[in-house]
Amino acid sequence: MTESCVSGGPVVSLPTKFGVFQAQAWTDKVTGAEHLSVTSPHAAQGDPLVRLHSECLTGDVLGSYRCDCGEQLDYALGLIYTHGGTLVYLRGHEGRGIGLANKMRAYALQEAGADTVDANEQLGFPADARDYASAAGILVALGLDRIKLLSNNPLKSEELSRLGIAISEIVATEVPARSENVRYLETKRDRMRHVLNVEAPEKATSHATPNPQEGPSA
């Protein structure tokens, strides 16, 4: 796998509530999709942390509790800034690749009783339609061909490995369950192989959000 499937723009400074990152936009030469990498200025101890974060407007921007995406994004950015690494924000991955309008249709089906996997399939889509070729291309272009992957989803590590990225460690990105998303998390665990310890919301709410300062093993 090479970086030839993507083209990168200029590297710019991106000040955030977590710290100042180095940001770079990337364009997929095949699909035209635009992605973003944000890289910590701190050197990693050992292999760098990498988070592939799929676009989720409702969770990332609006703070929706129907999923854990926004909270995972915040947790990952804090961890990466402190311990060194890169977050790749993948656009076009809304609703695990079905798009925003279809995600709203899937939500309607979920409100009628379907789980998140059944809802996507009832709309004629696979449970997960995401592609990680451009993500692998971005990592190669950044010189990140051996990484610690910040994820609960084994599919991501399998796909990156298939595309030539070596995964030295998988670091969990668990955040506490909420009453609004506990079924969603259970479905990811039970039907999509995500490595999650889903606690009952009444217990989880007594726990603090994981502290990025604690970090992964070296």
- The 10s digit of each residue's pLDDT in 104-118 is 999 999 999 999 899
Average model confidence (pLDDT) across the chain? 89
Q: Closest by alpha carbon to 87, among 79, 95, 77?
A: 77
Question: What is the enclosing helix (H) or strand (E) of 122?
Answer: helix 116-122
Query: What are the pLDDT digits (tens) for 17-63?
Result: 999 999 999 999 999 999 999 999 999 999 999 999 999 999 999 99
pTM to 2 decimals? 0.88
Of the listed 74, 118, 128, 131, which one is catalytic? 128
What pLDDT, on the 0 to 100 scale, is given for residue 107?
96
What pLDDT, on the 0 to 100 scale, is given for residue 146?
97
For residues 69-77, average pLDDT: 96
Question: Please, which residues have CB within 8 angstroms of residue 213's CB and are 6 or more apart in sequence?
Answer: 82
Question: Please, which residues have CB within 8 angstroms of residue 145's CB and are 6 or more apart in sequence?
Answer: 139, 164, 165, 166
- The percent of residues above 70 in pLDDT, for the chain, comes to 90
What pLDDT, on the 0 to 100 scale, is given for residue 132?
94
What pLDDT, on the 0 to 100 scale, is given for residue 184?
78
Confidence of residue 205 (pLDDT cuts 50, 70, 90): very low
Confidence of residue 213 (pLDDT cuts 50, 70, 90): low
Burial of 43 (0-12, 13-18, 19+ CB in 10 A): exposed
What's the CA dihedral at 125, 128, 133, 138 to 10 degrees? 130
What pLDDT, on the 0 to 100 scale, is given for residue 217?
46
In the residue annotation, 118 being an active-site residue is answered as: no
d(CA 28, CA 35): 8
Confidence of residue 206 (pLDDT cuts 50, 70, 90): very low
E-strand ranges in 31-81 read 34-39, 49-54
Of the listed 47, 60, 115, 130, which one is catalytic? 130
Distance of CA 180 to the CA centre of its chain: 20
Q: In whole angstroms, how far apart are CA 132 and each of 53, 55, 66, 158, 208?
A: 11, 13, 24, 10, 32
d(CA 180, CA 71): 13
Query: What b/e sequence results for 195-212 when a residue is b if at least 16 CB atoms lie within 10 Å of its CB, and e otherwise?
Result: ebebbebeebeeeeebeb
In the residue annotation, 130 being an active-site residue is answered as: yes
Question: Please, which residues have CB within 8 angstroms of residue 106's CB and are 6 or more apart in sequence?
Answer: 95, 98, 114, 116, 119, 120, 123
Rg (CA), the chain: 17
What pLDDT, on the 0 to 100 scale, is given for residue 214?
54
d(CA 135, CA 111): 32
Burial of 13 (0-12, 13-18, 19+ CB in 10 A): exposed
CB atoms within 10 A of CB 14: 14
